[in-house]
Amino acid sequence: MNRADIPTWVWPVAALVVVLFLFLFVSATIAMAVVGLGLAGSVVVFAGWRRLVQVFVVILLVTFFASMLIRFLPGDPTDSLLGFATPEQKAQVADELGLNDPFYVQYGRFVEDFFTGETRYYQSSGRAIGGQKVWERLGDALPISLQLMFYAQILALVFALPIGIFAAYKAGTRMDKGLNTVAFGLLSLPNFVLAYILIYWLAVKNNVFPSQGYVPFGESASEHFKSMFLPSVSLAVGQIAIYMRLLRSDMIQTLQEDFITMARAKGLTTRRILLRHALRPSSFSLLTVAAINLGALIGGAVVLEVVFQLGGVGTLIIQAVNEQQFIALQTFVGLIAIAYVGANVAVDVLYSVLDPRIRHARAA
């Protein structure tokens, strides 16, 4: 089998699976080392398998309900497929595509195709069958969306962490209140509104960044980052506010703990106390929200991809909804469900790494 024969979807899913198992087995190794081979092994194996089953069940449920909801969209998909056609022609196409089959039959067919990697086709207007493959289009669009969400998340964390730490350190002061006010402002500003403001000032008025379009990294790294800067910032700003406030709250509590007092008494510097002793136990909420926020990032990315003409998965989703492309839409929802659940599982496992108490509790 050549590399080219491998369906495109395999790569991101394989990467996700590898990461997932890596975390599982890292925590398994630590647990085994601490409490002994037999007991730890059985606990971890059970916890690991249970988690995987949970993931699978959640994905099924999400795709099932999404598939059902999609069919409530008004109109007839054959109108999108054929356009100028007689009712008889449309009926024939509906039969050929199985659109008249019961929902559970259509869903079963989708599940089988999705999990076996069978490529499915966009139902394309102009020619009802034999349109472009969903995975082909996804292969082009997915990297764009992943890059956008990744850059936005990194930007958000890069700014939120120091600001949150500083705000916690300066809790109650005017500086802290000012930062909170700014955070509220950023939270209430919709990301697409911010996008247009940034476009106006930084693209149209001052030509610093492009107002739209995507340049692949391989084509030009500098142009790539320029093209992704405004969308990433638009998506990140709201998250900065959320993460900053979360971290601030947790750190304020942590800084009141006895061990922090002990650290101060020992003469440790403020910087060391904040970064080495207080930050880690304060990060659990932040970590949880960062994973849950994947949903918000996806939603924001959908809007911003249209604004900035990025051609990512969000654009495909909108197009699929408008054109009632059931197969494509179900595929996208399935993938998003996998990514979302997988990210939350990874975070869940990451707790074991961050907090020894959780690691011991699980092992016990």
**Nearest of 139, 143, 136, 149 to residue 304 by alpha carbon:** 149
**Nearest of 159, 148, 132, 158 to residue 325 by alpha carbon:** 132
The C-alpha atoms of residue 247 and residue 163 are separated, in whole angstroms, by: 9
Give residue 98's region: left, alpha or beta (phi > 0; psi -120 to 50). Answer: left
Least distance from other proteins to the Cβ atom of residue 257, Å: 50
Rank residues 145 and 293 by Cβ distance to other proteins and give the closer one.
Answer: 145
* DSSP notation for 54-103: HHHHHHHHHHHHHHHHHTTSSS-HHHHHHSS--HHHHHHHHHHTTTTS-H
What residues contact 269, with CB distance under 8 A and at least 6 apart?
Answer: none
Rank residues 24 and 301 by Cβ distance to other proteins and give the closer one.
Answer: 301
Least distance from other proteins to the Cβ atom of residue 207, Å: 6
Rank residues 90 and 277 by Cβ distance to other proteins and give the closer one.
Answer: 90
Rank residues 287 and 318 by Cβ distance to other proteins and give the closer one.
Answer: 318
Rank residues 145 and 239 by Cβ distance to other proteins and give the closer one.
Answer: 145
Contacts to other proteins by CB under 8 A: 74-76, 79-80, 82-86, 89, 124-127, 130, 132, 137, 140, 196, 199-200, 203-204, 207, 210-214, 306-307, 309, 311, 315-316, 318-319, 322-323
Least distance from other proteins to the Cβ atom of residue 300, Å: 17
- Start-to-end CA distance of the chain, whole Å, equals 45
Least distance from other proteins to the Cβ atom of residue 135, Å: 14
Least distance from other proteins to the Cβ atom of residue 199, Å: 6
